[in-house]
Structure 1
Amino acid sequence: MKFVTTPARSLIALGLGLATVGAMALPAAADTLNLRLTAATRSAAAPAQGAYWHTKVLRTATHPWQFGQGTNRYWLEDQRVFEMWTSPDGKVWAGQRNLGVHPKSAADEEAWRRDGSPATWKRAANGSIVSLSTEPDKGGVFPMKGQATFRLAEQRLSYEQLQRLPADAAGLKTWLEKAARAAKVPGNAVDGYVTASLTALLRDLPAPKEVRAAAYKLLPTMPGVRSLGAVKDSQGRTGEGLSIDHGRSRQQAGTIASTTEVIVDTDTMLLLAESLTSTINGKPFLDKTWTETVLQVGWTEDKPSVPALP
């Protein structure tokens, strides 16, 4: 098989590889992929099961700055809904809606009440200018520009090529490692690159269930990945948890350590949730700490629209 050879985009400054390697229809300067599949892969691509591959994600994160005055300091938690619709020809629409902020914990809520229970914020406690509200905004939906293809490990694939990815763990690993080398990923970053691609296959791309199953089987064998057993997400759904240790990276701001945890529905081989926890010099690094709960994922006939409130 032949892969496009292009320099990989800068990896996330946490040693994560590309956290959204599976993002579809993003602009790129690479040549069109000419992927030649081996005889071991499926000879015919299954037709799409709907008009769009659709994901709806609730992202929760703590604002990196405290709010309030004097001793009445508190943290605010931000929630947003993100949706993506991808047609089989690779065209993408994105929707977003900010659900507003609220005090993070019971202690934060008490401090917020002592601060007068504000509903909007223009400045953080450190004086930084912000624009926050407890009320949801109107949200929006828009088409994403760029070449209409699916992206995996810096390779641009058609829907048909995506269906023919190796459906066994060993073959999938070989494919992703070749893609990493073609993208000129440094040797010490290849494993992280492959791991990030595997999580993308479990959510962002309409790959066949057999390919997703291969990705799930391969994940625990990757360096830094360990099983957490049966765990529940924020919606009370039970799946198999995996922890991915991304190690440490030295940045100008300090030493950053990060861990991703994913919860997989082993019936559908799709993600239920994904969270990233980071520290900088041993202290919480809120800019790189969040939780995403997958509210919906799969084929749909519903056209792209402004995200509804959960």
Structure 2
Amino acid sequence: MRYPIAAVAVLITAGVVAVPAQAAPAEGAYWRVEVVRTADHPRPVGSGYTVTQRSVSVDWQTPGGKAWSAYRELGARPKTAKDEAAWKADGSPTSWTYRTEGMKISLSTEPGKGRVGPVKGRPAGKFRMGEKWVTYAQLQALPTEPETLRARVVADVRAWIDAAAEEAKTTDPSAKKEDWLAHLDRYVAEHMTHLLYENPVPFKVRSAAYQALKTTKGVSDLGQAKDPLNRSGQKVALPVYERKSSVLKEQFIVDTKTMTLLARYVDLQDGGKQLAGKSGVETYKVGWTDDKPAVPAAG
């Protein structure tokens, strides 16, 4: 449930330790992660105004490793008062259609029907963490001390870098491992944010991940802030990621009472110009629930 930013399409793995005799009990039937994404459409529509698109995705996972996912478009709206005036001058259309690169693109002001269904191709009883499949018991056994967790993640990120660098050489002989190592702190910080929402890890693991995140080199503590849903949390900024002409800036708001993610802000620029559609904000609702998987509400 992340933006499709090719420059940082990084899957890093968390380490696991020996499975304990008994894992901590779940606090509900499903670990649920809801993400509402808001972003500008990547090109003007109608007479040349900008619209903002919203969508929602939800994932459910049981302690036994079964999973469901859902998705729904929430509709497009003019971005600013100026855009709204241009939209009204166009006759207040409720849909837009155009073609680009041989593809037909359709937008609507109305929410889509949405869909929900089981996740296929998933090993029985397993959870995806980076490039590994682990059990619920292994999730519960992740380190709860910040520096121990950091050491585990750093070791696994370095192992990933070794493999990625070797694979890159098959298509680019000039590829160097140092290109990845230059962003080691960034990768470690990004992984810590995944531990704050992605899988049903214990509160103490999330707390350790947050503490490790805050003290990772290049991470900035921006103080108390409110997300788009008016929820309060602590805001942090990850190290800036630069590659050729692309610059990625990410900020997160964390609920320090539950140690779960509230919001993620993305600013991706290329050649100094922000890339609409790949920049935007996500709001998160994370936690245990007994509510069964269903198509997300249209609101």
8 Å Cα contact 1:16/1:193 also seen in 2: no
Counterpart in 2 of 1:100? 75
CA separation of 1:12/1:129 partners in 2, compared to 1, >3 Å: closer, same or farther? Answer: closer
- Once residues 9 and 15 of structure 2 are traced to their aligned partners in structure 1, the CA distance between those partners, rounded to angstroms, is 28
Question: What does 1:270-309 align with in structure 2 at a 5 Å threshold?
Answer: 270-294=260-284, 296-309=285-298
TM-superposed deviation, 1:105: 1.1
RMSD between aligned alpha carbons? 2.5
TM-score, length of structure 1 as denominator length: 0.82
Superimposed CA distance per residue, residues 128-171 of structure 1 (whole angstroms, 9 cap, x where no aligned partner): 74211101111010111122422223232110000010001111
Question: What does 1:138-287 align with in structure 2 at a 5 Å threshold?
Answer: 138-145=113-120, 146-148=122-124, 149-183=126-160, 184-185=163-164, 186-250=180-244, 255-287=245-277
User: By percentage of residues, which structure has more helix?
Assistant: 2
Counterpart in 2 of 1:26? none
Of the three residues 66, 70, 73, the one matched with 1:91 is: 66
- Once residues 22 and 182 of structure 2 are traced to their aligned partners in structure 1, the CA distance between those partners, rounded to angstroms, is 36
Counterpart in 1 of 2:173? none
- Once residues 221 and 61 of structure 2 are traced to their aligned partners in structure 1, the CA distance between those partners, rounded to angstroms, is 31
Counterpart in 1 of 2:18? 37
- Once residues 159 and 277 of structure 2 are traced to their aligned partners in structure 1, the CA distance between those partners, rounded to angstroms, is 31
Superimposed CA distance per residue, residues 46-83 of structure 1 (whole angstroms, 9 cap, x where no aligned partner): 111111100112111110000122xxx21011001111
- Once residues 258 and 97 of structure 1 are traced to their aligned partners in structure 2, the CA distance between those partners, rounded to angstroms, is 27
Percent sequence identity over aligned pairs: 40
- Once residues 122 and 243 of structure 1 are traced to their aligned partners in structure 2, the CA distance between those partners, rounded to angstroms, is 37
Counterpart in 2 of 1:7? none
Query: One-letter code of the match for 2:58?
Result: E
Number of aligned residue pairs: give it.
277
TM-superposed deviation, 1:308: 1.3
Q: Does 1:118 align with 2:107?
A: no
- Once residues 124 and 68 of structure 1 are traced to their aligned partners in structure 2, the CA distance between those partners, rounded to angstroms, is 13
8 Å Cα contact 2:15/2:152 also seen in 1: no
Query: One-letter code of the match for 1:57?
Result: V
TM-superposed deviation, 1:213: 0.5
Of the three residues 11, 25, 28, the one matched with 1:47 is: 25
Structure 1 stretches of 5 or more lacking a match? 1-10, 23-32
Counterpart in 1 of 2:54? 79
- Once residues 77 and 219 of structure 2 are traced to their aligned partners in structure 1, the CA distance between those partners, rounded to angstroms, is 33
TM-superposed deviation, 1:263: 0.3
8 Å Cα contact 2:186/2:240 also seen in 1: yes
TM-superposed deviation, 1:35: 4.7
Query: One-letter code of the match for 2:67?
Result: V
Superimposed CA distance per residue, residues 191-240 of structure 1 (whole angstroms, 9 cap, x where no aligned partner): 23222211111111111111101111011222331011000001111100
Query: One-letter code of the match for 2:264?
Result: E
8 Å Cα contact 2:219/2:238 also seen in 1: yes
- Once residues 202 and 242 of structure 2 are traced to their aligned partners in structure 1, the CA distance between those partners, rounded to angstroms, is 34
CA separation of 1:240/1:34 partners in 2, compared to 1, >3 Å: closer, same or farther? Answer: closer
CA separation of 1:61/1:124 partners in 2, compared to 1, >3 Å: closer, same or farther? Answer: farther
Q: Does 1:13 align with 2:6?
A: yes
Q: State the secondary structure of the residue aligned to 1:197.
A: helix
Q: Does 1:62 align with 2:40?
A: yes
- Once residues 178 and 193 of structure 1 are traced to their aligned partners in structure 2, the CA distance between those partners, rounded to angstroms, is 12
TM-superposed deviation, 1:125: 10
TM-superposed deviation, 1:44: 4.2
